[in-house]
Structure 1
Amino acid sequence: MLLPEATMWIHLRRQRLAGTPRTGRLEGWDIAGPALIAAAFALSTALIFLF
């Protein structure tokens, strides 16, 4: 079973590969994707240390 972070990462990678590089401009996912990954990582790390 994949962790939620892993499935989210795969999903974001697919979206990035589908859309962004040809346009050359920043899409929303270029900013939101890494931010969501960082937030998920921070949350999972905090939960590990709290419990």
Structure 2
Amino acid sequence: MLVNRAVTVALEWQRRKHERRHLAELDEYLLRDMGLSRADVAHETAKPFWKP
């Protein structure tokens, strides 16, 4: 159903926005532990919420 799909997409966009915001707030220790750099974070957080 179209309404269900719209809700699913909206929830996915909201999740991405939240996760990217959270990623940007992580400290250097946690990023290193995950194998990520600030450049990786900058690349990911620069994406619009509708892009995976």
Do Structure 1 and Structure 2 share a fold, with TM-score over 0.5?
Answer: no
TM bucket normalised to smaller: 0.3 to 0.5
TM (norm. structure 1) is 0.44
TM (norm. structure 2) is 0.43
